[in-house]
Structure 1
C-alpha cells in the first residue's frame, strides 16, 4: 500500500513538472518563435542549466551554449526530429496540459519527458531553429544523415561512435493538423522504441523549422487607421480600400491622400460624405499636378449635393525655412469648385510638415479649432462647412506608402497643462510651508520661577 501511494506521488510530481514546463511555453510570446525540447534516454542526465526566463527569446548564441552543455553528459547519438512547422499552440491545444491526458496527441513525447532528463526552451527564434542541424554537425564533425523511420532499422549504429540522425516530420494546417501531429508522435515513439530495443543511448531533439501559429501584430495600415489586438470579440472586417495616389509622368507617385470621412455641407443642408466616392477608385484626378516645388491634388465628382460638377482641390507648396534648415510641405489652401463657382479656404496655421514626412490630423475643419478659414468675409466659403476626419496627406517625397506622420496635435494638451499647473501649485504650497517653518525662532529669555521675576519698566 505504501509503495502504491509513493508511486502515485512520484507520478503526480512528474505530471506537475511537465504541466509547469508547458505552461511556461504557453506564457511565452509566440510571434516567429518555435519551441525546442531536448531529452535523453533512461539512465542519462543533463547538466544543471539555467532555464530561460519567462518571455525570453533564445537566439543562436545562447542555443549553442545550451547544446554544448547538454552534450557534455548526454549520449552523442543524436536524433533530431525536425517538423516543418511547430508552435506552442500545438502543445497547448492538442497536448494533455489542460485537458484529459488521454486525449493528448503527444502521448509518446510526454511519456519520454516523464521518464528522462529533459530541457525545454519555450521560445526559440525560428532562425536559430534552422541552424540546429548545422550546430550538431560542427560539434560532432560528422555529416547529418537524413533518414526515414522505416530505414532506421537498417543502419548500423554504435553506442561508442557519435551519430547525427535527422528525421523530417510533416505538418499541415486546418482540421487535419491534429491527426498529423498524432502520427508524428507515433513516429517519435517508434524511433525511440527501436533505439531502446537495440540498447543504443540517445539524445533526442524535437523542434520546428517555422512557427505554425503566429500572433499577428497588425501595423498601422495605409488607411491611417489603427488596427490592434482585440479580446473576446469577433474580428472586424476592414474594407479593402487604399489611399488616393497621384502618379507623375516623370517621377512616379508624388501625392498620397487618405481620410476616413470627407464631410461637406452647404448652409443648413445635411452634410455629404465624399470618402466613399473618393477611395473606391471611381474618382478622377484630372487637373492634378506636381513638380519639385508645387503640388496640386484635384478630386473630381459628379452629381454631389445637386451640382453636376464638383471638385475638391488641395494645393501644397515646398518651402525652405532657414530657421529649421530644411524643406517643409505647406498646404496653402483647400478649394471647392461647384458648377463654375469657387469656395476658397486658406490654411493659416498647422497644416505643414517636413517635406520627408506626411501630415496627419484627426480632425480638419473650418469650424472646430479651425485649420481652414475662408479667404474673405464675402467668399462663398463662409456658406460651406468642411470636416475631414483622420486626414493624412503627403507630397514631394513619396513612395508607395505613407512616411512617418507629423501630427497636428500639440504637445501641451489641456490635460498636460492641468497637470503642470496643479504641480506648480503644490510646489508653491510646499515651498511656502518650508519657508514658514524655517522662520520659526525660539524665545531669547524665559521666566525662572526660582529667580527674580522679570520686570518690565514702564514709563509713567
Structure 2
C-alpha cells in the first residue's frame, strides 16, 4: 500500500527541485506544411482531443485519456472511452461549473448497461501556496453517481500540478497495482474500481484550448523507493552495530595485552634468604 505524505510538503519539495517536462510532438493543425518553420519544442503545447469545459466563452477545464473503465465488484468491466472522448458525439458536460477557486467537471453518460443515469464528477480546487510562491490546482475527488441516488466517492489528494502546467499520469486508478491514486471514501466506493489510462488534465489557467507543458505524476517517493530506503536504513543500523562491536572487542584486546606485559620487580629479600639457606647447607658437616 502506498504511503501518503502531506500535500503541502510534497508541493514544497516539488517546487524547490527543477524538472524538465517532456516536450510534446503534436503540431498545430492550422500550420501549413509548405515553407513553415519547425516549431519551438521548448514552448510547444499539445492540442487537446478530449473534453473542454467552457466558462464565459473560455476553456476552464480540459481532460483527455486513452481509456476510461469501471468495474463493479466482479462484474464485467465497463469501457466508457468512446462515450467520454469520442470526437463525433461528446459526452454531456453542461452541468460542469468553473469558479476562481473551485471547479467541477460532470460527465453524464445516461444509462450504461445495468447502471441508470451514470455520471462521473471530478472536483478540482485552485490554491496559492506561499511556500512555493505560485498557484496549484488539484483533483480532490472523483465521484460515480448512478441509479438516481447512489454515489461512490474516491479521494484523489495526490493528483496536483502547478497552474502553469498540465498534469499527466499513465494511470489514475483505484487499483493498488497502479499506485491507487484514487482512494475509496466509503463502503460503496470499495465495491468499485475506476481507471483512467494516459490521464491528462488542466484547469483554471487554460490558454488557447491547449495543454501546457506536462507535470508528470512520477514522484520521488514511490513505494519501491521507500522500500529501498527502509532496507538501506536497516543495513546501516546493522553495520553501525557491527562496527560498535568491533571497536569494543579491540578495546578489550588492548586491555588484555597491557595486563600481560605488566612488569613485577623481584623481591630483594628473596635471593638473600635463598642464598643464606644454601650457604648453611654447605657449612653443615
What TM bracket, shorter-length normalisation? 0.5 to 0.7
Task: Give the structure 1 partner of residue 82 of structure 2.
Answer: 276
Aligned to 1:258: 64
Would the alpha carbon gap of residues 358 and 242 (structure 1) be closer, same or farther in structure 2, given more than 3 Å must change? Answer: closer
Distance 1:412 1:420 in 2: 15
Q: Deviations over 1:35-71 (max 9, x none)?
A: xxxxxxxxxxxxxxxxxxxxxxxxxxxxxxxxxxxxx
- 1:401 aligns to 2:196 (yes or no): no
Q: Deviations over 1:231-255 (max 9, x none)?
A: xxxxxxxxxx954241535463322
TM-score by length of 2: 0.59
1:443 paired with 2:250, answer: no
Determine the C-alpha separation between the residues in 2 that align with 1:373 and 1:414. Answer: 19
Task: Report SS of the residue matched to 1:331.
Answer: strand
CA contact (8 A) 1:277 1:283 kept: yes
Match status 1:349 vs 2:157 = yes
Indicate the residue corresponding to 2:135 in structure 1. 327
Tell me by how many angstroms 1:318 deviates.
Answer: 1.0
Please give the alpha-carbon distance, in whole angstroms, between the structure 2 residues aligned to 1:261 and 1:243: 13
CA–CA separation in structure 2 for the residues paired with 1:412 and 1:370: 12
Q: How far off its partner does 1:403 sit?
A: 2.7
Structure 1 residues 412 and 375: CA distance shift in structure 2, 3 A: closer
* CA positional deviation for 1:257: 1.7
The question of whether the paired residues in 2 share the 8 Å contact of 1:328 and 1:354 is answered with yes
Shift of 1:343: 1.5
SS of residue paired to 1:268? coil
Structure 1 unaligned residues grouped into runs of 5+: 1-217, 223-240, 454-460
1:413 corresponding residue in structure 2: 223
Change (3 A) 1:385 1:426: same
SS state at 1:356 partner: coil
Secondary structure at 2:211 match in 1: coil
- Matches of 1:220 and 1:437 in 2, distance apart? 62
Kindly indicate whether the alpha-carbon contact (under 8 Å) linking 2:141 and 2:157 is maintained by their aligned counterparts in 1.
Answer: no
Structure 1 residue corresponding to 2:236, chosen from 400, 424, 437: 424
CA 1:243–1:428 in 2, change beyond 3 Å: closer, same or farther?
farther
Shift of residue 395 of structure 1? 0.7
Give the deviation of 1:270 after TM superposition.
Answer: 0.8
Q: How many residues align?
A: 214
**Distance in structure 2 (CA, Å) of the matches to 1:401 and 1:410:** 24
Q: Do the aligned partners of residues 251 and 292 (structure 1) sit closer, same or farther apart at CA in structure 2, a change above 3 Å counting?
A: farther
Give the corresponding residue for 1:191.
none
Greater relative contact order (Cα < 8 A, sep 6+): 2
Asked if structure 2 preserves the Cα contact closer than 8 Å seen for 1:265 and 1:386, the reply is: yes
Preserved contact between residue 245 and residue 253 of structure 1 (Cα < 8 Å): no
TM-score by length of 1: 0.39
1:35-434 equivalence runs, <5 A: 219-220=23-24, 242-250=48-56, 252-281=58-87, 282-284=89-91, 285-307=93-115, 309-347=117-155, 349-368=157-176, 370-377=180-187, 380-399=188-207, 400-407=210-217, 409-411=219-221, 413-415=223-225, 416-421=228-233, 423-425=235-237, 427-429=239-241, 431-432=243-244
Whether the 8 Å CA contact 2:53–2:62 is kept in 1: the answer is: no
Does the residue aligned with 1:277 lie in a helix, a strand or coil? helix
